[in-house]
C-alpha cells in the first residue's frame, strides 16, 4: 500500500529540514551523518536543502552499522558491509543523525555505538523520515517526517530515486517465511 508519493516526500523533507533549522539557529558546529543506505541519501538531500535555504553547505558523512547490530547472526552469515565515510571530526560537534525508518530502535542504538567509536559529539539529534512505532528500546526521534501505524507483520519501505528509480513510501506484507 502506497502511503507517500514523490511530491509528499519532497514536502516532508523540506518540512523536516525547516524544523531542524528553526530549532538550530547556528550551523557552525553542525554535521550530518546518514545511516547507510537510504539515511545516507536523505542526509545528502537535507544538506542540499540547507545550502539552498541558508547558503551554507554542511559536512555530510555516511555510517554503516552492520557490524554493530545485536542481531548480526540472525540476518546473515555473510552480511553486506557498506562503507562508513566520515571525512571530518565529530568531536564536540552537533551531529544530526539521519535514517529512513525508525522501528524497534535497534538500528539507532547500533549507530550510536558506531559513532562513539569515531569520537565524542557534543550533541546528537535524530531525524527519521518515517516513525512506525513498535519500539523495543527507549529511543525516539527529535524530528519525524511522518508517523504511521503499522503492524509487526508489515514492512515499511522508503524508496528513493537514487537507488530504487522511484520515490515513494510503501507498506508491504511480510512473506510467510519472513515472519
Reading the chain (179 residues) residue by residue, the pLDDT tens digits are 999 999 999 999 999 999 999 999 999 999 999 999 999 999 999 999 999 999 999 999 999 998 886 654 454 555 566 689 999 999 999 999 999 999 999 999 999 999 999 999 999 999 999 999 889 999 999 999 999 998 888 999 999 999 999 999 999 997 665 54
Dihedral sign for Cα 143, 106, 104, 156, please: positive
CA dist 163 and 175 (Å) reads 23
Going from N- to C-terminal start, the domains of the chain cover 2-20+29-178
Which SS3 state, helix, strand or coil, does residue 169 take?
strand
Q: What is the pLDDT of residue 133?
A: 86
Q: How many residues would you count in the chain? A: 179
What is the CATH code of the structural domain delimited by 2-20+29-178? 3.40.50.2020
pLDDT of residue 76: 53
pLDDT at site 36: 94
Q: State the pTM of this model.
A: 0.91
Cα dihedral sign, 169-175-177-179: positive
**What does the DSSP assignment read for 98-156?**
EEEEESSSHHHHHHHHHHHTT---SEEEEEEEEE----SSS---SEEEEE----TTEEE
Q: C-alpha cell of 94?
A: 552537533
Q: In the beta sheet, which residues pair with residue 169?
A: 4, 158
For cell 508491504, the residue is 172
Give the per-residue pLDDT at 73: 47
Amino acid at each position: 500500500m502506497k502511503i507517500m508519493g514523490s511530491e509528499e516526500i519532497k514536502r516532508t523533507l523540506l518540512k523536516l529540514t525547516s524544523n531542524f533549522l528553526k530549532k538550530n539557529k547556528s550551523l557552525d558546529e553542525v554535521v550530518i551523518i546518514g545511516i547507510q543506505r537510504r539515511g545516507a541519501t536523505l542526509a545528502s538531500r537535507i544538506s542540499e536543502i540547507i545550502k539552498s535555504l541558508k547558503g551554507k553547505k554542511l559536512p555530510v558523512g555516511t555510517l554503516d552499522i552492520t557490524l554493530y547490530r545485536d542481531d548480526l547472526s540472525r540476518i546473515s552469515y555473510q552480511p553486506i558491509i557498506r562503507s562508513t565515510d566520515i571525512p571530518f571530526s565529530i568531536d564536540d560537534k552537533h551531529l544530526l543523525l539521519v535514517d529512513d525508518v525508525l522501528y524497534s530502535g535497534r538500528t539507532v542504538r547500533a549507530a550510536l555505538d558506531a559513532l562513539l567509536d569515531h569520537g565524542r559529539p557534543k550533541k546528537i539529534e535524530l531525524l527519521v523520515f518515517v516513525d512506525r512505532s513498535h519500539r523495543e528500546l527507549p529511543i525516539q526521534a527529535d524530528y519525524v517526517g511522518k508517523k504511521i501505524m503499522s503492524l509487526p507483520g508489515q514492512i515499511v519501505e522508503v524508496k528513493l530515486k537514487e537507488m530504487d528509480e522511484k520515490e515513494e513510501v510503501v507498506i508491504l506484507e511480510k512473506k510467510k517465511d519472513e515472519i
